Amino acid sequence: MQKPFYSSQDVAKLLGISKQTLLRYERKRIVPKAKRNLINKRREYSAADLVKLKELLGRT
């Protein structure tokens, strides 16, 4: 079953990079900013976001 949202740690593992690298790419605007959960303010990535990130980083 597919998750509705992925954490930055989950996305980093799926992309084969560290969480710090993912956040650095976001700060440098290499990848788009993630949406934030309104309650806990954590980054959330959708399945579509994950596909876009894979394309941007050449990990299809």
- pLDDT above 90 for 3: no
10 pLDDT tier (thresholds 50, 70, 90): very high
Give the per-residue pLDDT at 54. Answer: 94
Tell me: the pLDDT tens digits for 14-59? 999 999 999 999 999 999 999 999 999 999 999 999 999 999 989 8
HEC secondary structure over 20-32: HHHHHHHHCCCCC
| Per-residue confidence (pLDDT) for residue 1, from 0 to 100 | 60
| Dihedral Cα 41, 43, 32, 51, nearest 10 deg | -150
Supply the pLDDT for residue 22.
96
All structural domains of the chain with their residue ranges: 8-56
Q: What is the DSSP letter of 6?
A: B
According to the model, what pLDDT value does residue 59 have? 82
